[in-house]
Homo-oligomer: A and B are copies of this chain.
């Protein structure tokens, strides 16, 4: 079933939790996305980026929002990126992360949705 898609892309193609039992394969993919969000720091990072103007934020801004080392923040951003929740773009020395709002929307409808 895996075609090199990121976990978030898998989320887009299935009925909500309450509609029918999740297959093991799908559950494994979706759980990766939820696990990525299941950390206070990453959840705040995601929220900071998503609520920032333009839906994107520079790493330099994000570092200052936490009492954590720069490598730690970088690590969390990588986790969110690998799972497909954040896009990464480098501009000069700075790196900007953008939230994939459709991914969040898909995840939301999988969790709480009733349709499809």
Instruction: List chain B residues, Cβ under 8 A from A47.
Output: 17-18, 20-22, 27
Instruction: List chain B residues, Cβ under 8 A from A5.
Output: none
Instruction: State the Cβ distance, A22 to closest chain B Cβ, in Å.
Output: 4
Q: Which chain A residues in 6-64 approach chain B with CB under 8 Å?
A: 17-22, 24, 27-28, 30-32, 34-44, 46-48, 50-51, 55
Whether A105 sits at the interface, judged by CB under 8 Å, is yes
**Copies per complex?**
2
Instruction: State the Cβ distance, A32 to closest chain B Cβ, in Å.
Output: 8
Whether A99 sits at the interface, judged by CB under 8 Å, is yes
Instruction: State the Cβ distance, A77 to closest chain B Cβ, in Å.
Output: 15
List 17 interface pairs A-B (beta carbons < 8 Å), by A numbering. A17-B50, A18-B55, A18-B104, A20-B51, A22-B44, A24-B44, A27-B41, A27-B47, A31-B39, A34-B34, A34-B43, A35-B38, A35-B39, A37-B38, A104-B112, A108-B112, A108-B113
